[in-house]
Amino acid sequence: MSEKITFVVSARIGPSQNEVEIEVDKAEYEAAEDKNAYAQELVDSYIQELVEIGIGIKE
């Protein structure tokens, strides 16, 4: 079993806080040349789920 890394995307909306945990293989993350681009791709791939719980992405 490979090691995992968990990214947490969260947003505070009024008194509540919503978050989504995105788990990826550590080796896959470490192999990425551009860590910021990798993280952005993760967020993009989960955008529908994020919007459904009230997390919006401002460009």
Domain hosting residue 28, numbered range = 4-52
With respect to residue 22, please indicate whether it lies within any of the assigned structural domains: yes
With respect to residue 48, please indicate whether it lies within any of the assigned structural domains: yes
**51-59 long-range contacts, CB within 8 A, separation 24+:** 53/18, 53/20, 54/11, 54/13, 54/18, 55/9, 55/10, 55/11, 55/18, 55/19, 55/20, 56/11
With respect to residue 57, please indicate whether it lies within any of the assigned structural domains: no
With respect to residue 34, please indicate whether it lies within any of the assigned structural domains: yes
pTM of the entire predicted model: 0.65
Token pair in block for residue 6: 């968990």
Token pair in block for residue 11: 């947003």
pLDDT digits (tens, 9 = 90+) for 18-59: 788 889 999 999 999 999 999 889 888 887 777 777 666 555
Helix count and strand count (H, E) for the chain: 3, 2
With respect to residue 59, please indicate whether it lies within any of the assigned structural domains: no
Question: What SS3 class is residue 19?
Answer: strand
